[in-house]
Amino acid sequence: MAGAAAAKCSDTSVTLRGDWGQARFSVEIADDAGERAQGLMHRTSLAGSAGMLFIYEEPQPLSFWMRNTLIPLDLLFIDSRGVVQHIHHNAVPLDESPLEGGSDALLAVLEINGGLSARMGITPGTELRHPAFAGRNPAWHC
């Protein structure tokens, strides 16, 4: 499981906090079209304390799918302030159905192992700390 929150921000980790507590995930960053298209495709596992953070240049509606993704994932859709707006739980491997973020003002998506959000108690309203949200009036400053 994810460990306790780190004291400072890092490009290679995200820290989440909410009524449920805090957690830290090591993340790979997908911040260009090629990296976002590849995502976590073709991987057979993902460490429990790891994830992938998809970052976009500007807030926008976001939709994902599980093409060529072999493991179930939770997708946390995050606004420009670093606040989780929607969670798609246990996305089905290889399913090409669109997974909508439910808002037109999303800046990022965090993918973690399927079922982990529910087990940890992560809900919409959870705040995420990462340098990507600096300069956007973040809910949780670095």
40 in Cβ contact with 69 (< 8 Å): yes
DSSP assigned state of 19: T
> pLDDT tens, 105-123?
999 999 999 999 999 999 9
CB 120 within 8 A of CB 22: no
pTM value is 0.94
Q: Please, are residues 71 and 113 in contact by the beta-carbon 8 Å criterion?
A: yes
pLDDT score, position 5: 43
Given a cut of 60, whether residue 1 has pLDDT beyond it is no
Of 110, 118, 125, residue with least CA distance to 13: 110
The size of the chain, in residues, is 142
Sign of CA dihedral 87, 88, 93, 98: negative
| Residue 109 confidence (pLDDT) | 98
- What pLDDT, in 10s, does the model give residues 95-106? 999 999 998 899
Q: Is the pLDDT of residue 60 over 50?
A: yes
Q: What is the mean pLDDT of residues 128-140?
A: 96
Q: Looking at the predicted structure, is the pLDDT value of residue 25 above 60?
A: yes
pLDDT at position 7 is 56
Check: CB of residue 109 under 8 Å from CB of residue 54. Answer: yes
Checking if the pLDDT of 59 tops 70, the result is yes
Q: Tell which residue, 23, 17, 25, has the closest CA to residue 126.
A: 17
pLDDT of residue 4: 44
The strand order across the sheet containing 21-30 reads 84-91, 73-79, 106-113, 50-60, 21-30, 13-18, 127-129
Contact 20, 121 (CB under 8 A): yes
The count of other CB atoms within 10 Å of the CB of residue 26 is 14
